[in-house]
């Protein structure tokens, strides 16, 4: 009697498997999609898929994966898998994407407006997917720049916290160089705004005319024609 019941249960489970989606296929579809998405990420990347059971879904012979709107490219995220045939359904598979690489943090407390020196920074290695968005990986990006805001020791440094040093300050006398095809003319004026290297600077000329040009490393403003 017991053997008969076990046989019935086994047959039922086998028949149920025939009419259910393949969990392994869903996970494989999700993983292949994630590998394509992370192939250009810096550092060493690893993927871990969360628990998922597709046996409650109807069978599927054609699947495709997609990135759901608002999903993060790293850290805890989800990847969507949809069935195209013969049934129609969509599921989200949980995943964890870890990216091991370098990131830069402060070696001491730094104040807003301070020019960053090499000794102010330390380079660490770890899972950058757990770090704030925009964290820098190379200290040379920060050296010589100033901070928008004060930060404490051991705090990661983001690109949006950095300001390029000013080469032109509002009110100073600057040389304006007009460059064209086969000619170069210079004159002087007063800077209307602050500008870092490569930024747009506005200058009021002695004639009263206001012109705009690109701030150069030598403190001049270049206007191209």
Of the residues 43, 64, 99, the one at which a domain ends:
99
Domain identity same for 171 and 194:
yes
Rounded Cα distance between 117 and 128, Å, is: 23
| Domain of 88, in residue numbers | 2-99
Q: What is the CATH number of the domain that holds 135?
A: 3.90.1210.10
Using pLDDT thresholds of 50, 70 and 90, give the confidence band for residue 119. very high
Domain identity same for 61 and 110:
no
Q: Is 64 exposed, middle or buried (0-12, 13-18, 19+ CB in 10 A)?
A: exposed
Query: So what's the pLDDT on residue 20?
Result: 66
Residue entry with tokens 């095809």: 181
* In the chain, % of residues over pLDDT 90: 60
Domain count of the fold of the chain: 3
Instruction: Verify cis geometry, omega within 30 degrees of 0, for the bond prior to 86.
Output: yes
* In the chain, % of residues over pLDDT 70: 91
Of the residues 55, 82, 99, the one at which a domain ends:
99
């Amino acid at each position: 009697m017991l053997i008969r019941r076990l046989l019935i249960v086994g047959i039922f489970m086998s028949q149920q498997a025939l009419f259910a989606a393949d969990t392994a296929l869903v996970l494989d579809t999700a993983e292949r999609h994630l590998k394509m998405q992370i192939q250009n990420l810096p550092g060493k990347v690893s993927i871990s898929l969360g628990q998922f059971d597709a046996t409650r879904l109807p069978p599927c012979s054609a699947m495709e994966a997609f990135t759901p709107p608002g999903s993060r490219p790293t850290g805890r995220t989800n990847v969507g898998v949809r069935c195209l045939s013969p049934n129609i359904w969509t599921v989200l598979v949980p995943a964890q994407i870890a990216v091991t690489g370098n990131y830069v943090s402060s070696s001491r407390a730094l104040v807003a407006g301070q020019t960053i020196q090499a000794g102010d920074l330390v380079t660490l290695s770890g899972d950058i997917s757990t770090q704030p968005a925009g964290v820098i990986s190379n200290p040379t990006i920060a050296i010589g720049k100033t901070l928008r805001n004060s930060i404490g020791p051991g705090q990661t440094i983001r690109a949006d916290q950095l300001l390029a040093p000013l080469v032109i300050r509002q009110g100073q006398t600057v040389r304006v160089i007009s460059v064209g095809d086969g000619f170069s003319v210079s004159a002087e004026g007063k800077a209307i705004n602050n500008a870092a290297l490569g930024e747009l600077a506005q200058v009021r000329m002695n004639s009263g005319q206001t012109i705009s040009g690109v701030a150069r490393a030598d403190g001049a403003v270049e206007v191209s024609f």
